Structure 1
Amino acid sequence: MAIPKKGSRLITVDGTIFRWRVRRKPTYCQGNSWGPMTFAVELADASGRALLVSLPCSRPDAWWGERTMAIRPALVTATIRTALDHGWDPRQAGNAFDLELTDEDLTELMNSQPPAYDVPFMRR
């Protein structure tokens, strides 16, 4: 699987350059807050196995007022390191490596600080 270059960002983790991307528009399930916030990561300069990360929150552009979270480079860096520790080899060919994070995982990744969720107001 290749991540489109348009709309993706480069990030360097421990001397390796990766490309990461959040889907431009939510899927129907993500828009209804039925599906999790996701993003994908792969090596920037070579083909290989992609990393698909699922977070325990909704997208900021979800249609209902669920808790959301912005994806920041610090979170992407910590997630890449976690995936590498759990056996993700980005140079290996094969299906995408799925990584589902929980609230506890996010707290650990962000240096024991609770994740900053955005809770939008409900429109009436």
Structure 2
Amino acid sequence: MTYKTLQLDTSNWDLTLDGSGDLAIASDGYATAQDVASACLVFSGECYYDNTLGIPWKEDVLGKRPSPGFIAQKMQNEALKLPNVDQAIASVFFDKNTRTTRGAIRITDVDGNTSQATL
């Protein structure tokens, strides 16, 4: 099964064009990784077409001190809501020097293909 989605420009997370001037289309592993990254970046209740989607960033993360495991679990749960994702394993770590949080999520789709999204 080929999985496709509109490709986003990674610098501004907006639609992009292909070499012919048409909307760019991402497929298979890249499409899955991009959709998982999008799902993990959505704030709970802010997805226009389905307000049950999203991570409770405002309620449970920002201004709090959640564990990396807590954030990883939330990201995995969002990834598994996508119909083509079979498995998702997230890893999150805090850099105390720069006060930033970084993470990655490894995805296995329903066809057994793996890809990774870095957040």
Give the TM bin, normalised by the shorter chain.
Answer: under 0.3
* TM-score (normalizing by structure 2): 0.25
Taking CA–CA contacts closer than 8 Å with sequence separation of 6 or more, which of the two structures ends up with the larger relative contact order? Answer: 1
Structure number with higher helix proportion: 2
* TM-score (normalizing by structure 1): 0.24
